[in-house]
């Protein structure tokens, strides 16, 4: 059978009648006479047939003349936004790796508006084959300049011919993509005569086969005629491809590492939903799942608004987190809100913790009932915000001036110094927790000692943290004794 008669035969992967095509006859395509798309379509369909993957085939059509590729391909069809076919293909292929994904794109779609999508999908080595029809012009929109339009080529938006000074140079996509690590096959072919159609058939087969064999991303660029856009006869177009286009866009195989690439084996991890809570750290992270392990005192009516502030690295956020967790374990409503983003990069960090017997409204603490200040700037920032009769606990090993407020209770706890003595300044925050618990009195000591290692899972610090907590409690008890005396 001759090449031309074979390509005229209907493939299984091609509809017999184009019923999706609106108006006109369902036997001929919507492409212009002499257009390259029809031939490329048939070569793809033929390859899908030959490899027996019609049912698995997913064709993603672009925006451009081939937007209606789904009129013709008897495979699963997705129509994508302009330039986005490789992203859509990525999504599909990841969701259903047991498919054969063909992204069909034109030059405006692939090399202009979708240049990022194609580079990135290629670079990730997505399991897909991209067929890139390069006809150096925008066909569907009526002959405007494409990223692959040649220098001096006239289009409706380069009426005097493409000028490199103004529009830059035609993009050679095959060359660009072949520099990437992941793609296994990159080739450029042309369709201007029987011989070149045959070479294109070979390249398309090779690219699709690479995907069928699980080797990864393959790419075929095809120099193809657009007689309408070029304002040439089909015959003139063939000559133009040969003599002009192919001189700038050299046909050839730019990359072929198919044989050196191990097939990707898709191992699908199947997880029993019963295990989700454990895998999502829901059952393991929870204190209240251990409810009843230790008794807690009854809930009191109260609204505690705590601000904890210091340098990043002083464990400010984790102190708040531990407090909120413990209060939750005592059946209080709690919320925890960090300062975030650039605010934290200045070196200071703070968080708001609310503890209440009833549902908490705003999670932001504007006027704390308790301020725990671990450095000087924090004291300066929040001292005036605290409510009268509130409590300030501050680290006097780092803050050398005592707060000025007379309407609040002030407790100096040299947390950093005390923590350093028992082994690490990292536990200074837990010294503060001890001080807080001793002063506020609504949290159970035994419960806290049990809970700390459940919340801060770092083994190295567990003993130290409990000791630091006890040290903080002791310090306050001593202070209070002195006051009484």
Using CB under 6 A as the criterion, which residues of the chain lie in contact with ligand SF4 when the complex forms? 31-32, 35, 37, 65, 135, 139-140, 226-229
The least CB distance from residue 343 to ligand SF4, in Å, is: 54
How would you classify residue 270: left for phi > 0, otherwise alpha for psi between -120 and 50, otherwise beta?
Answer: beta
Q: Does 269 bind another protein (CB under 8 A)?
A: yes
Residue 65 binding: pick among another protein, ligand SF4, none (C-beta 5-8 Å cut-off by kind): ligand SF4
DSSP state of 271: -
**Cα 285–318–406 angle (5° rounding)?**
135
How would you classify residue 231: left for phi > 0, otherwise alpha for psi between -120 and 50, otherwise beta?
Answer: left
Whether 38 contacts 44, CB under 8 Å: no
Q: Each residue of 284-323: b (16+ CB within 10 Å) or e?
A: eeebeeeeeeeebeeeeeeebbbbbbbbeebbbbebbbbb
- Exactly one of 7, 43, 75, 473 binds another protein (CB under 8 A); that residue is 75
Alpha helices in 352-458 (DSSP H): 376-382, 415-422, 428-440, 445-455
Q: Does 84 bind another protein (CB under 8 A)?
A: yes
- Exactly one of 142, 363, 423, 441 binds another protein (CB under 8 A); that residue is 363
Applying CB under 8 A, the span of 66-74, 223-231, 243-251, 433-441 interacting with another protein comes to 66-74
Q: Does 243 bind another protein (CB under 8 A)?
A: no
Backbone angles phi, psi at 187, to 5 degrees: -140, 150
Using DSSP, state whether 373 is helix, strand or coil: strand
Can you tell me the distance from the alpha carbon of 104 to that of 122, in angstroms, rounded to the nearest whole number? Answer: 14
Distance of CA 330 to the CA centre of its chain: 38
Q: Does 306 bind another protein (CB under 8 A)?
A: no
- Exactly one of 10, 276, 312, 347 binds another protein (CB under 8 A); that residue is 276
Q: Which is nearer to another protein, 23 or 159 (CB)?
A: 23
Q: Does 325 bind another protein (CB under 8 A)?
A: yes
Question: What's the token pair of residue 468?
Answer: 């630091």
| Distance (Å) of CA 157 to CA 65, 142, 147, 166, 363 | 18, 10, 12, 12, 57
Q: Does 141 bind another protein (CB under 8 A)?
A: no
Residue 226 binding: pick among ligand SF4, another protein, none (C-beta 5-8 Å cut-off by kind): ligand SF4
- Exactly one of 48, 88, 204, 374 binds another protein (CB under 8 A); that residue is 88
Residue 80 binding: pick among ligand SF4, another protein, none (C-beta 5-8 Å cut-off by kind): another protein
Q: Does 366 bind another protein (CB under 8 A)?
A: yes
Question: What number of chain residues touch another protein (CB under 8 A)?
Answer: 74
| Distance (Å) of CA 375 to CA 313, 337, 396 | 12, 19, 9
Query: Bridge-partner residues for 128, per DSSP?
Result: none
Using DSSP, state whether 164 is helix, strand or coil: helix
Q: Which is nearer to ligand SF4, 218 or 224 (CB)?
A: 224
Residue 31 binding: pick among ligand SF4, another protein, none (C-beta 5-8 Å cut-off by kind): ligand SF4
The least CB distance from residue 240 to ligand SF4, in Å, is: 13
The least CB distance from residue 39 to ligand SF4, in Å, is: 11
Q: Does 288 bind another protein (CB under 8 A)?
A: yes
Q: Which is nearer to another protein, 96 or 300 (CB)?
A: 96
Question: What's the token pair of residue 295?
Answer: 């008794």
Q: Does 213 bind another protein (CB under 8 A)?
A: no
Using DSSP, state whether 401 is helix, strand or coil: coil
Q: Which is nearer to another protein, 58 or 136 (CB)?
A: 58
- Exactly one of 24, 159, 273, 292 binds another protein (CB under 8 A); that residue is 273
Q: Does 78 bind another protein (CB under 8 A)?
A: yes
Can you tell me the distance from the alpha carbon of 134 to that of 82, in angstroms, rounded to the nearest whole number? Answer: 15
Q: Which is nearer to another protein, 56 or 154 (CB)?
A: 56
Question: What's the token pair of residue 348?
Answer: 């200071």
- Exactly one of 18, 92, 138, 249 binds another protein (CB under 8 A); that residue is 92
Using DSSP, state whether 134 is helix, strand or coil: strand
The least CB distance from residue 223 to ligand SF4, in Å, is: 12
Applying CB under 8 A, the span of 69-77, 193-201, 375-383, 412-420 interacting with another protein comes to 69-77
Q: Does 16 bind another protein (CB under 8 A)?
A: no
| Distance (Å) of CA 127 to CA 16, 131, 138, 184 | 29, 13, 28, 10
Query: Bridge-partner residues for 19, per DSSP?
Result: none
| Distance (Å) of CA 124 to CA 86, 188, 354 | 11, 21, 45
The least CB distance from residue 140 to ligand SF4, in Å, is: 6
Query: Bridge-partner residues for 76, per DSSP?
Result: 58
The least CB distance from residue 197 to another protein, in Å, is: 27
Residue 229 binding: pick among another protein, ligand SF4, none (C-beta 5-8 Å cut-off by kind): ligand SF4
Q: Does 341 bind another protein (CB under 8 A)?
A: yes
- Exactly one of 35, 87, 150, 184 binds another protein (CB under 8 A); that residue is 87
Q: Which is nearer to ligand SF4, 245 or 326 (CB)?
A: 245
């Amino acid at each position: 059978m001759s090449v031309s008669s074979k390509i005229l035969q209907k493939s299984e992967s091609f509809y017999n009648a184009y019923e999706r095509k609106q108006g006109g006859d369902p036997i001929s395509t919507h492409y212009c006479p002499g257009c390259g798309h029809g031939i490329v379509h048939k070569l793809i369909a033929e390859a899908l047939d030959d490899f027996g993957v019609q049912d698995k085939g997913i064709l993603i059509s672009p925006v451009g003349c081939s937007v209606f590729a789904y009129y013709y391909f008897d495979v699963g069809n997705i129509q994508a936004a302009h330039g986005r076919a490789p992203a859509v293909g990525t999504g599909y292929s990841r969701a259903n790796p047991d498919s054969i994904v063909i992204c069909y794109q034109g030059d405006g779609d692939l090399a202009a508006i979708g240049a990022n999508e194609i580079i990135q999908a290629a670079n990730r080595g997505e399991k897909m084959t991209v067929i890139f029809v390069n006809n150096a012009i925008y066909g569907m929109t009526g002959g405007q300049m494409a990223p692959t339009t040649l220098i001096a080529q006239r289009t409706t938006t380069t009426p005097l011919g493409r000028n490199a000074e103004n529009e830059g140079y035609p993009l050679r996509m095959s060359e660009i993509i072949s520099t990437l690590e992941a793609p296994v096959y990159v080739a450029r072919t042309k369709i201007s005569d029987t011989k070149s159609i045959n070479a294109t058939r070979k390249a398309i087969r090779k690219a699709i086969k690479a995907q069928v064999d699980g080797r990864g991303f393959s790419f075929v660029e095809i120099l193809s005629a657009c007689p309408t856009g070029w304002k040439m006869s089909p015959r003139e177009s063939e000559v133009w491809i040969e003599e002009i286009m192919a001189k700038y866009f050299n046909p050839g195989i730019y990359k072929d590492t198919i044989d050196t690439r191990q097939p990707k084996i898709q191992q699908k991890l199947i997880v029993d939903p019963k295990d989700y809570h454990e895998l999502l750290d829901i059952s393991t992270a929870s204190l209240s799942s251990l409810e009843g392990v230790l008794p807690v005192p009854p809930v009191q009516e109260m609204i505690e608004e705590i601000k904890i502030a210091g340098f990043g690295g002083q464990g400010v956020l984790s102190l708040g987190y531990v407090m909120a967790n413990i209060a939750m374990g005592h059946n209080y409503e709690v919320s925890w809100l960090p300062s975030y983003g650039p605010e934290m990069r200045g070196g200071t960090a703070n968080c708001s913790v609310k503890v209440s017997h009833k549902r908490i409204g705003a999670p932001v603490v504007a006027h704390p009932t308790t301020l725990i200040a671990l450095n000087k700037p924090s004291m300066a920032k929040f001292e005036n915000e605290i409510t009268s009769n509130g409590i300030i606990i501050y680290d006097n090993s780092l803050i050398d001036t005592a707060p000025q407020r007379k309407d609040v209770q002030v407790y100096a706890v040299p947390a950093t110094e005390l923590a350093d003595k028992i082994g690490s300044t990292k536990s200074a925050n837990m010294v503060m927790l001890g001080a807080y618990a001793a002063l506020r009195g609504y949290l159970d000591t035994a419960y806290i000692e049990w809970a700390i290692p459940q919340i801060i899972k770092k083994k190295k610090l567990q003993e130290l943290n409990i000791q630091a907590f006890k040290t903080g409690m002791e310090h306050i008890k001593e202070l209070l004794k002195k006051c009484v005396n």
